[in-house]
Structure 1
Amino acid sequence: MNFHQLHIFYTVATAGSFSAAAQALHMSQPAVTMQVQALEEYFGTKLLHRSTKHMELSEAGRTLLPFARRSLELSRETDAAMAAFSSSLQGRLQLGASLTIGEYVLPRLLGPFGREYPDISIMLKVMNTTQILDEIASHQLNFGLIEAPVDHPDMMLDAVMEDELKLIVPADHPLAQQGGEVMLEDVLAYPFVLREKGSGTRQVMEDVLHERGIDPGSVRTVMELGSTGAVKSAVEEGLGITMLSTSTVKHETALGLVKMIDIADASFKRKFYAIQLKSALLPMSAMTFLSYLRKRQWT
């Protein structure tokens, strides 16, 4: 018995077929079948009952499955622990990232990572969460980075970074003239420019309002826009105030185009998540990149 065989068995069991497992593992179907048969020969019992129409686990297979899952989890933990010591990695890293992460967070982290690991080539796709899940499922991406947790039966989530939304107002706004922190009740008296419904940024704001017993529908929203850049431009023009990730407005605040203000009685924090297939083992280059992200939090 070896770990590779356990990984193949687990993938077949969770994928539901040899053909689906072969696609996920980038192997031929006969090779997958051969490895499962070798495992059955090792244990001296059938692990899977196969027919032309379906496949199901035997009693022995059901007993083995949690051990195979644990071995996969231990392998991931081992790779994550050893990633910090990997200094001469090579390979191609394919990942997807949602808008805020891909356009505002990763660009300033990819440069230092590339200098530290010059032989790893990165292909980054910026897209919405649904597209990221689809491309991970079809094995076009190793993993994705998303702004809000999702529940998918074939995927696993891992919180890798933290983020915080702050109140963003025009430079000459009355709230900016007060100096210091403001109260949430005072903030909600002003019109807002927000991202579209369903965006991760807007969801964080609405979740916090719900926790405070405030109906998000009561917020006076004068404009809904489909990108963070458009929201920032609207705020600069004095059309309203907004809540945005601190990582998206560093340039504008440095130039004095907008002001970032703390709300004294409310905190709008969230986590960013790495998402991957449960049955997949990430390459060491990917584990090293995720370890790198965890160590580099921003303020």
Structure 2
Amino acid sequence: MNLKQLEAFVRVAETKSFSAAAKQLYLTQPTVSAHIASLERELNTCLLVRNTKGVALSESGKELYAYAEQMLELEQKIRDRFGLTGKQSGSVLRIAASTIPSQYLLPDIMAQFRREYPEEQLKLFETDSEGVVEMIRSHKADVGFTGTVIEKGNCTYIPFYQDELVILTPATEQFKARKDADAASWFPEEPVILREEGSGTRKEALRLLEQMGIDISALNVAAVMENQETIKRSVSSGMGISILSALAAREEISSGRLLAFPLGETGGKRNINMVFDAGYPSLPAAEKFIKTVKHIYL
């Protein structure tokens, strides 16, 4: 097994075509086929299945693809680090971020980074906080941003921004009348729309509700949703109340379409964190990016 064979396999898996993979690699189609056949003989398994739509990964192929992709990315990192690519441009920095930092903080950070280091390229992946941590642990991302701390692996967290979570309700007279009431007295009575299981917003919201003395096991959960826009529209239409970042709902709050209530006496404060694996070799671009974040916020 060698990197050329793995590269051919990955390209066929991604393009779903032997001919397209051969064109990308500047090889003949028989050469690509030979690389795949050698891999299948060595691993004693079928990796690719031909069908009417092209080529699909077998179950063994899906497993190999996850490893092969990481190996090729690591090879590219080595080439970038030691100037073996023959390109004038910098490396590709992979950033994984949960919803709030991805949509409301990273655009300004990335713009500043590009002004300072125009030769560097950025690739952004948006997922939930749990997904960010998994991408850092599996080294599919170089730097991550999360709305909570998930203790897994050798992840190092640097809090750099303080966010505020608020209770969002429809802008009805019923909720306007509760402006001066303690939210803990009426929150448990309402249907609640929660973020998905791996969301940092969800984890922090439940933590804050517990601090307010609310039994989260007794919540009337109306729905679980991933998309913040869908959640806000559902709250506005009266489906239930929710807890989101004030950043995500600032337009709806300022326009009066939604009402915002604080979470407890101290408010729903939580940290937005930068996360990376300090024990894994990092690209110079990652170190520059971390430095940019610290310069802006710390």
Gaps of 5+ in 1: 1-19, 29-88
Give the Cα separation in 2 of the matches to 1:251 and 1:295.
Answer: 28
Instruction: Give the letter aligned to residue 207 of structure 1.
Output: R
- Give 1:197's aligned residue: 197
1:19-78 per-residue CA deviation (whole Å, 9 max, x = no partner) reads x9xx699559xxxxxxxxxxxxxxxxxxxxxxxxxxxxxxxxxxxxxxxxxxxxxxxxxx
Higher RCO (CA < 8 A, seq sep 6+): 1
- The TM-score normalised by the length of structure 1 is 0.60
Determine what percentage of the aligned residue pairs are the same residue: 22
8 Å CA contact retained: 1:160, 1:290: no
- Give 2:140's aligned residue: 140
* Alpha-carbon distance change, 234 to 240 in structure 1, aligned in 2, over 3 angstroms: same
Give the Cα separation in 2 of the matches to 1:26 and 1:235.
Answer: 45
Residue pairs, 1:101-116, within 5 angstroms: 101-115=101-115
Structure 2 SS opposite 1:184: helix
Give the Cα separation in 2 of the matches to 1:218 and 1:201.
Answer: 19
Equivalent residue pairs, number: 217
Give the Cα separation in 1 of the matches to 2:152 and 2:263.
Answer: 34
1:201-224 per-residue CA deviation (whole Å, 9 max, x = no partner) reads 121121123334432022222222
8 Å CA contact retained: 1:181, 1:264: no
* Alpha-carbon distance change, 210 to 90 in structure 1, aligned in 2, over 3 angstroms: same
TM superposition shift of 1:277: 1.9
Task: Please give the root-mean-square deviation of Cα atoms over the aligned residues, in Å.
Answer: 3.3
Give the Cα separation in 2 of the matches to 1:162 and 1:96.
Answer: 19
8 Å CA contact retained: 2:168, 2:243: yes
- The TM-score normalised by the length of structure 2 is 0.61
8 Å CA contact retained: 2:167, 2:243: yes
Give the Cα separation in 2 of the matches to 1:142 and 1:107.
Answer: 17
Residue pairs, 1:228-247, within 5 angstroms: 228-247=228-247
TM superposition shift of 1:164: 1.5
2:256 corresponds to 1:259: no
Residue pairs, 1:56-135, within 5 angstroms: 92-115=92-115, 117-135=117-135
Structure 2 SS opposite 1:188: helix
TM superposition shift of 1:163: 1.4
TM superposition shift of 1:109: 4.1
Structure 1 SS opposite 2:185: helix
8 Å CA contact retained: 1:168, 1:258: yes
* Alpha-carbon distance change, 277 to 264 in structure 1, aligned in 2, over 3 angstroms: closer
Residue pairs, 1:2-17, within 5 angstroms: none
Give the Cα separation in 2 of the matches to 1:135 and 1:190.
Answer: 36
